């Protein structure tokens, strides 16, 4: 960052405080890269996920949400409502993001672009698979696809999530 002062040349200002002599730099100042086996940690308290009735499986840099389309998910045309599918994708993207963050960080959606390619009818099992494309210190970029059990593509999405510090006293994820 460069700061300007009246009558003087600009000077560089450190964006982070220097590490005092004798102290080590934290091993990770930013999220690490995805990879590793798929695991299923205990589910966090998330009422919307319970209400919509989808399961979540997450691993290092990726997550999959699975939902069987039922009456609560239908729009007036008797197909899966876009908002239900979007909520499933957004949750999978958030879980994939959280899986690569340190415990003292959380995430929040910045933006998501979603393209709906076909309708999902009652009884259809949908799988939203999200994966991290790139991760920086402040923003994580992801992609996701929603497929039927047959493999037919229902929707595709890309999104960006902000990396934010956990509030003081927040419970572990």
Question: Please, is 54 exposed, middle or buried when counting C-beta atoms within 10 Å of its C-beta (0-12, 13-18, 19+)?
Answer: buried
Looking at residue 9, its pLDDT comes to 54
Query: Which among 148, 151, 165, 159 has a CA at the least distance from the CA of 93?
Result: 159
Looking at residue 52, its pLDDT comes to 87
Domains in the chain, please, with CATH? 47-165 (3.10.129.10)
Q: Per-residue pLDDT for the chain (173 aa), expressed as one digit of tens each?
A: 555 555 555 555 444 444 454 444 444 444 444 444 444 444 556 788 888 889 999 999 999 999 999 999 999 999 999 999 999 999 999 999 999 999 899 999 999 999 999 999 999 999 999 999 999 999 999 999 999 999 999 999 999 999 999 888 877 66
């Amino acid at each position: 960052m460069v700061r300007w002062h009246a009558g003087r040349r600009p000077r560089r200002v450190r964006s982070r405080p220097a590490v005092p002599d004798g102290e080590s730099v934290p091993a990770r100042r930013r999220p690490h890269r995805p990879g590793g086996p798929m695991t299923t940690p205990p589910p966090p308290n998330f009422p919307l996920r319970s209400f919509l009735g989808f399961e979540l499986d997450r691993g290092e840099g990726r997550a999959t949400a699975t939902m069987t389309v039922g009456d609560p998910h239908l729009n007036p045309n008797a197909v899966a409502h876009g908002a239900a599918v979007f909520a499933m994708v957004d949750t999978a993207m958030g879980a994939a993001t959280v899986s690569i963050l340190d415990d003292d960080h959380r995430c929040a959606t910045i933006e998501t672009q979603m393209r709906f390619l076909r309708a999902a009818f009652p009884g259809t099992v949908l799988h939203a698979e999200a994966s991290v494309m790139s991760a920086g210190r402040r923003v994580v970029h992801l992609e996701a696809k929603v497929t039927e059990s047959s493999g037919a593509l229902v929707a595709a999405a890309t999104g960006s999530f902000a990396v934010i510090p956990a509030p003081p006293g927040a419970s572990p994820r």
